[in-house]
């Protein structure tokens, strides 16, 4: 992976090295454990930093015939790393091959291809480095020029870690992200009522009625805003946009609170109403709302029961999203309560659907108010990113795009921003060389810098309402 990696023409090389590479990183959606930033954790070895919680790698290892003992089981850290080193050569043409070697290179200066032959040597060298002060969690972020990370946090979180980080006065920001999925998942009365007990404690409000529930959730929403939150995120298998009445919502809530499961249609009504309510609160505060739509999660019930969620048993869904998504956005827009919105799809068949849906609700009040987000999850790879750039260019304004994010649980994942930036620069450079774009590097270089950083910064903080007490 030389300085020319993924850059196949002179213009691409110049765009990346003279414009893209120098831009800071704003990672506006990830699943980084914020407590590790607060305590400036030092990982004991590369397995802790690289393999714990990384279901991308676990899926590849399982596919390669590696026992679960070496993924989430009781094998030693050294054994788990060797199992990954055994798997990595077989990930050729999978993005894990590029990502893993970029990470070894950018953080540790390792240019070798990881394999069983050098696994012991690389394990030892990287682990020694990680135990040194310059490889603490905060310094890992600094190495990649990270300026802001927005984590993913439940409404019941007390945000203690975020408050402490802010008081430390760091040279980068860590802000909470509001993720209320559990707060509106009413399908199981047992799970929902257990969650309401946590919500009661967090908001210090007894929840006996639908009105109490709204008051408690709104209190947490306000608390997040007071703590610096600028983004909300919703992970949905499908968009909910059923019709409902206030009486129906009260009855559904009472049914579940009394210990009975709602019917499927009742659950959809409730979730539809709550998505609208939450979106209106997002709008009031000037937040950016994100909708990650289309994953089928926890498909393997046996392994879900054994390991829990987010352990590598999720896949692409094939639902029909266009009409309910249109209806949801229109409900907000018709009352002028549509917040800044980023839409993500997981099925590549939906690319043009989501890209053109965003354009339906851009009203000129600000640049790209509703936009199609970066290639997500299974689509976050070389072909997926290129397809995303092409579809976005053909149906919208690539120049106003808010760019890349990691959506990761790993502090070693930030070279994914470089990966995206190289692909972006090569795409534009290729068309400059072909005469399809003007040979104006300062102008297109500024566009690249906007996509890599400026657009994101301006979008997240535009129209933000800072609460006062």
CATH code, domain with 74 = 1.10.2020.10
Residues 190-233 pLDDT 10s: 999 999 999 999 999 999 999 999 999 999 999 999 999 999 99
Residues 295 and 238 sit within 8 Å (Cβ to Cβ): no
Query: Does one domain contain both 161 and 130?
Result: no
Q: What is the pLDDT of residue 468?
A: 58
- Within-domain flag for 469: no
Query: Does one domain contain both 78 and 227?
Result: no
Query: Does one domain contain both 225 and 321?
Result: yes
- Within-domain flag for 4: no
**Beta-carbon neighbour count of residue 427 at 10 Å?**
18
- Within-domain flag for 5: no
Query: Does one domain contain both 126 and 149?
Result: no
Residue where a domain stops, chosen among 135, 168, 198:
135
Beta bridge partners of 146: 25
- Within-domain flag for 353: yes
Q: Tell me what the mean pLDDT of segment 245-253 comes to.
A: 98
For helices 95-108 and 119-130, give the axis angle rounded to 10 degrees: 50
Contacts of 336 (CB under 8 A, 6+ apart): none
Give the integer Cα–Cα distance in Å for 212 and 340.
28
- Within-domain flag for 3: no
Give the integer Cα–Cα distance in Å for 199 and 192.
10
Residues 16-33 pLDDT 10s: 999 999 999 999 999 999
Q: What is the pLDDT of residue 469?
A: 52
Q: Tell me what the mean pLDDT of segment 147-154 comes to.
A: 98
Q: Where are the beta strands (DSSP E) in 109-193?
A: 146-150, 173-175, 177-178
Residue 1 pLDDT class (50, 70, 90 cuts): confident
Query: Does one domain contain both 253 and 399?
Result: yes
Query: Does one domain contain both 96 and 169?
Result: no
How many independent structural domains does the chain possess?
Answer: 2
Query: Does one domain contain both 238 and 314?
Result: yes
Q: Tell me what the mean pLDDT of segment 446-451 comes to.
A: 98
- Within-domain flag for 295: yes
Q: What is the pLDDT of residue 389?
A: 98
CATH code, domain with 423 = 3.20.20.140
Residues 112 and 122 sit within 8 Å (Cβ to Cβ): yes
Residue where a domain stops, chosen among 135, 167, 189:
135
Q: Tell me what the mean pLDDT of segment 440-455 comes to.
A: 98
Query: Does one domain contain both 105 and 211?
Result: no
- Within-domain flag for 265: yes
Residues 274-329 pLDDT 10s: 999 999 999 999 999 999 999 999 999 999 999 999 999 999 999 999 999 999 99
Q: What is the pLDDT of residue 360?
A: 97
Structural domain boundaries enclosing 69: 42-135
- Within-domain flag for 128: yes
Query: Does one domain contain both 53 and 193?
Result: no
Residues 98-115 pLDDT 10s: 999 999 999 999 999 999
The structure's pTM equals 0.96
Residues 58-80 pLDDT 10s: 999 999 999 999 999 999 999 99
| Higher-confidence position of 468 and 117 | 117
Residue where a domain stops, chosen among 116, 135, 154:
135
Q: Tell me what the mean pLDDT of segment 172-186 comes to.
A: 97
Query: Does one domain contain both 28 and 61?
Result: no
Q: Tell me what the mean pLDDT of segment 243-270 comes to.
A: 97
Q: What is the pLDDT of residue 74?
A: 96
Query: Does one domain contain both 291 and 171?
Result: yes
Q: Tell me what the mean pLDDT of segment 342-360 comes to.
A: 98
């Amino acid at each position: 992976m030389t300085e020319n990696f993924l850059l196949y023409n002179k213009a691409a090389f110049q765009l990346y090295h003279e414009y893209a590479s120098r831009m800071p990183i704003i990672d506006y959606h990830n699943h980084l454990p914020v407590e590790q930033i607060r305590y400036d954790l030092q990982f004991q070895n590369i397995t802790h930093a690289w393999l714990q919680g990384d279901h991308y790698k676990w899926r590849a290892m399982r596919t390669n015939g590696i026992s679960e003992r070496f993924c989430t089981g009781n094998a030693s850290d050294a054994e788990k790393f060797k199992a990954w080193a055994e798997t990595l050569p077989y990930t050729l043409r999978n993005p894990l091959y590029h990502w893993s070697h970029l990470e070894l290179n950018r953080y540790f200066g390792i240019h070798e291809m990881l394999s069983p032959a050098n696994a012991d040597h690389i394990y030892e060298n990287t682990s020694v480095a990680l135990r040194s002060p310059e490889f603490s969690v905060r310094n890992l972020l600094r190495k990649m020029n990270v300026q802001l990370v927005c984590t993913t946090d439940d409404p019941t979180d007390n945000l203690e870690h975020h408050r402490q980080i802010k008081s430390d006065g760091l040279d980068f920001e860590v802000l909470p992200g509001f993720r209320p999925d559990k707060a509106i998942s009413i399908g199981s009365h047992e799970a929902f009522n257990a969650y309401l007990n946590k919500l009661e404690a967090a908001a210090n409000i007894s929840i006996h009625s639908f009105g109490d529930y709204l008051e408690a959730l709104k209190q947490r929403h306000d608390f997040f805003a007071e703590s610096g939150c600028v983004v909300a995120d919703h992970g949905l298998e499908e968009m909910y946009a059923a019709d409902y009445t206030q009486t129906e919502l009260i009855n559904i809530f009472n049914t579940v609170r009394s210990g009975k499961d709602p019917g499927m249609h009742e659950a959809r009504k409730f979730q539809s109403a709550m998505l609208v309510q939450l979106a209106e609160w997002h709008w009031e505060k000037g937040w950016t709302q994100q909708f990650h739509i289309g994953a089928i999660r926890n498909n393997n019930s046996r392994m879900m029961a054994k390991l829990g969620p987010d352990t590598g048993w999720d896949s692409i869904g094939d639902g029909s999203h266009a009409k309910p998504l249109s209806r949801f956005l229109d409900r907000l827009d018709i009352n002028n309560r549509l917040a800044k919105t980023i839409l993500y799809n997981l099925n590549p068949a939906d690319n043009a659907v989501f890209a053109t849906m965003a354009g339906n609700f851009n009203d000129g009040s600000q640049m790209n108010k509703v936009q199609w987000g970066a290639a997500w999850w299974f689509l976050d790879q070389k072909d997926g990113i290129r397809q995303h750039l092409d579809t976005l260019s053909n149906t919208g304004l690539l120049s106003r795009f808010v760019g890349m994010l990691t959506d990761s649980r790993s502090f070693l994942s930030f070279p994914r921003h470089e990966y995206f930036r190289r692909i972006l620069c090569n795409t534009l450079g290729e068309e400059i060389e072909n005469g399809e774009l003007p040979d104006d590097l300062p102008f297109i270089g500024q566009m690249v810098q906007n996509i890599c950083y400026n657009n994101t910064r301006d979008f997240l903080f535009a129209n933000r309402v800072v609460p006062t007490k």
